[in-house]
A = this chain, B = another copy of it.
Amino acid sequence: MLYTKHLFICTNQRPEGSRVSCGEGHGLALVAAFKKAIKDKGLNTEIRAQKTGCMETCELGPSVVVYPEGVFYGHVQVEDVEEIVSEHLENNRVVERLVMDFDLLRALKK
C-alpha cells in the first residue's frame, strides 16, 4: 500500500435547488481540517486525505471514506475531524457514532 490510510472526502457540489450535495455543505472545510490535523501529527507521509467527487452517499453527507477498511462516515462535521484522526487514523478505533448506516442510505435513495 502506498498509504496506510487513505481518506476521500466528498466535495461534490450541485446547482442550488437540486439534490443535496456534500460540497454544498462543508466538504472543502473538511478537507482542509483533515489535512491540517494529519500534518500537525506528522502522519502525512503515510496517511493521505484528499477531496473526491460524488460517492453516491449524498443523502447522509458530508461523506468521508477511509480505505483500505472501507469505513464510510456520514454527516461529518469539522468538529468531528480531530476524533476521527486521533481515534481511527492513529489508533485504528472506528468512530462508531459517525459510521454511515447503509440500510438507511438505501431507504433514503428509494
Contacts and interface: CB of A to CB of B under 8 A. Distances in A.
Given A6-B67, A8-B8, A70-B68, A52 B50 contact: yes
Contacts of A72: 2
A50 B57 contact: no
Given A2-B57, A102-B2, A8 B52 contact: yes
B70 A1 contact: yes
Contact of A54 (B50, B53, B102, B105): B50
How many copies of this chain sit in the oligomeric assembly?
2
Contacts of A3: 70
B56 A53 contact: no
Nearest to A4: B70
26 contacts: A1-B70, A2-B55, A2-B57, A2-B65, A2-B70, A2-B72, A2-B102, A2-B105, A3-B70, A6-B65, A8-B8, A8-B52, A48-B55, A48-B56, A50-B52, A50-B53, A50-B54, A50-B55, A51-B52, A51-B53, A52-B52, A52-B53, A67-B67, A67-B68, A68-B69, A68-B70
